[in-house]
Structure 1
């Protein structure tokens, strides 16, 4: 069966997204069709519309979604109609060296399936019959989506799908950066630069890990106030500081054990590295422009034994970590309800993107039901 569905599409770079009716084809071998219930509006979707992430248009946006399976393709045995699933924008083939060594977020297959399904084709076309690319093997900002089983994770049916959807990117990326990538120690000092959707979740991750001091840094007082709700113990408005690095070194009495860059700018990555004490670790989480660079003093790596590293998708093992995060939510240790600033109908998608670009939301969510 194929379905007609409304979808959010990027037709041209640096132009507003459009909502149009598309055709979603039936699942083939190893694939499932999902009736989407919700999709988070993530900054990475915006980055696709402005060319920061080079996805050639036309592309169906969306990678942070959740819904119910309505059809399964040939050979699918681990999923059935009615299962609740969350999309994973990174494939997990289970066979490459990265999957085999416990780092599926770096899966080779994912790198080949950035705008298609793993076999290099798509199940999406416009009403004129022309194929539409999909965002990171997903394209779930639509009423229906056909995905490969390597891009979906089954989740508890007792969790609202509008909440479960957030696990698929922003929550996993931020919380995972703290828990999986940095492995924040209990009692440590942490600093998070940027209090958008990912930054708030990095703050949550630090809090869950037991950090004793969590410094949130942003240029918006409203976002800094929200950061306190998610676990920040101190806040710094960088607009009010002549030298934000010096201010944080003073506040932390010598520097942080861990710092997280959640903006996507090389200069801020350098600041995150600059606030470290000896032996500290700075984690770059934000997605920067391909031309952006970070400059640090090389000798400080040696004499201070500092680490500058990256975190992609929170170093996720989706089939292991998604259920864990759901469990933390059910145990009231992970905030998901509080992340959703506003919900939108799919026809309101252009407004959702405008609100995100203006920094009005912790997370906007498009709901389909």
Structure 2
């Protein structure tokens, strides 16, 4: 089969190979044919070393496809079933899972760092987060796939698997925004647009979008932002619509020191800063004990939208069916596997919301 192999961190290009084989499925695993794979900023971060990733590797973690084989012990899925990949599956037995925090479970992800998922000729190859969606096939744990109805388009389903779950979940699950709350979203890529839609679904009265790329501000308005500004305009906007008090919730989808400080300033006293982006391990942000105490603000993380995918993926699909969550409109570009380098290079461009690599018959 074909796959895009990254041989070393920082490589300029992927190696598109046709001699790659997938390993498994073993007990409790499934093998699926990848029909559509979204291109996420996390893929770029893994490629350039911002996120830890053993190499050589097949990147990609936002995907949907069809089951083609099940391993021993899997009796609730069968070949032909359509599924969304859950890149952060929970084991159900670790302390995080038992505390009701399955989105903090690292069991299967850590296995992905230690266990190759592919062979490229005689070369063992890892899969990003134990996945590897930039390939025609992949193997994941059973809990790493959520079955959906066969009429859900693959590209719509793929977006649910990461970007939409992360953005909508940050608002609905993590922050639990209520009707009438004011929200600012910093970063209007795919996850930011999903967060804006989540704020609209939650009934936020004010949804301010912030991005350095003017073209993205027009997109943000289309998906529900009531206001859209560049970072240098945010202070004036806050004065205009909140009297300078600040927003109830500030979502930082970019997560670099500058944007996190911007989110902190944008949140009102007693408000909440929600860290949605992954950032980089070497970045640091300073806060004084004085401002932490007297501002009374909370800084909370939202890993994968605080999701439990077997519960949350069907809810997102139901919202899409009801016309309340625009997923088709988020697909700005459709590409082939051999165009993956172009897709990574285009991240952050003004006309890009979400790019989807569509494999043969991926409709």
Give the TM-score normalised by structure 1.
Answer: 0.93
Aligned to 2:4: 8
Q: Secondary structure at the match of 2:338?
A: helix
What's 1:169 paired with? 162
Q: Is 2:17 the counterpart of 1:20?
A: yes
Distance 1:111 1:32, change over 3 A: closer
Q: Distance in 2 between matches of 1:43 and 1:87?
A: 17
Question: Structure 1: any 5+ residue segments left out of the alignment?
Answer: none
- Show the counterpart of 1:205: 198
SS of the equivalent of 1:195 reads coil
- When the two chains are superposed, the root-mean-square deviation of aligned CA atoms in Å is 1.5
Count of paired positions: 357
Is residue 109–residue 130 contact of structure 2 (8 Å, CA) maintained in 1? Answer: no
Partner of 2:67: 69
Per-residue CA deviations over 1:192-235 (Å, capped at 9, x if unaligned) read 00001111111111110000000000111110000011110001
Partner of 1:283: 274
1:186 Cα offset (Å): 0.7
| Aligned with residue 225 of structure 1, among 218, 222, 230 | 218
Q: How big is the shift at 1:359?
A: 4.9
The one-character-per-residue Cα deviations of 1:292-318 (angstroms, maximum 9, x if unpaired) are: 112234323322321011111011111
Deviations 1:153-207 (A, max 9, x none): 1122221111100011100000000001111111010000000111111111111
Which residue in the other structure is 2:338 paired with? 347
Q: 1:195 aligns with which of 188, 197, 219?
A: 188
The answer to whether the Cα contact below 8 Å between 1:214 and 1:233 also exists between their aligned partners in 2 is yes
1:1-22 superposed Cα distances (whole Å, 9 cap, x missing partner) = xxxx211221122222232121
Question: In 1, Cα distance between the equivalents of 2:235 and 2:309?
Answer: 35
Q: Does the alignment pair 1:330 with 2:321?
A: yes
Is the aligned partner of 1:150 residue 2:148? no
Distance in 2 separating the partners of 1:110 and 1:181: 22
Q: Deviations over 1:264-284 (max 9, x none)?
A: 202211111111112210001
Q: Give the TM-score of the pair, scaled to structure 2.
A: 0.94
Q: What is the rounded CA distance, in whole Å, between the counterparts of 2:158 and 2:264 in structure 1?
A: 32
2:158 is equivalent to residue 160 of structure 1? no
User: 2:103 aligned to 102, 105, 116, which one?
Assistant: 105
| 1:364 aligned onto 2:361 | no
Summarize the Cα distance change of 1:308–1:85 in structure 2 as closer, same or farther, 3 Å threshold: same
Name which of 41, 59, 65 aligns with 2:57.
59
Alignment match, 2:307: 316
Tell me, in whole angstroms, the C-alpha distance in 1 between the residues paired with 2:117 and 2:262. 43
1:109 is displaced (CA, Å) by 0.6
Contact preservation (8 Å) 2:13, 2:341: yes
